[in-house]
Amino acid sequence: MDSRNGLIPFGLLIVLFAFTFVFCLDSLSIPNMTYLTLAIIGYVVCIAASLLLGLFARQEGGALSVYYSLYALIVSIIFVWYLTRVGTFVKLWT
């Protein structure tokens, strides 16, 4: 995967993350299980796809493997934040 072809999936992952983050914020402000489910699925897809594409780019020696790994790390941190907010919201911790 060269850099030009690698930017298209990376851009799509950023768009997917934007929609996922909107669903995340909506599910926290308005108690809606549909948005909560869509946000969790979106985060898992973002993380899995970025790790998989990063592995493919690393095998081919592409420079985008670092960006895919960094993207997966950032989305994972936000996903953990979201899970702690959801746990607090449904009173799982108290």
Rounded Cα gap, residues 5 and 12, in angstroms: 12
CA 32 to chain CA centroid, nearest Å: 20
DSSP letter (8 states) at residue 92 = S
Q: Which pLDDT value is given to residue 33?
A: 86
Residues 35-63: pLDDT tens digits? 889 999 999 999 999 999 999 888 888 78
Instruction: Output the pLDDT for position 20.
Output: 95
Instruction: Name the pTM for this structure.
Output: 0.87
Q: Residues in the chain, how many? A: 94
Name the H helices within 1-94. Answer: 3-29, 33-59, 64-89
Instruction: Supply 37's token pair.
Output: 């489910």
The number of angstroms, rounded, from the C-alpha of 38 to the middle of its chain's C-alpha atoms is 12
- For the chain, the structural domain boundaries read 3-89
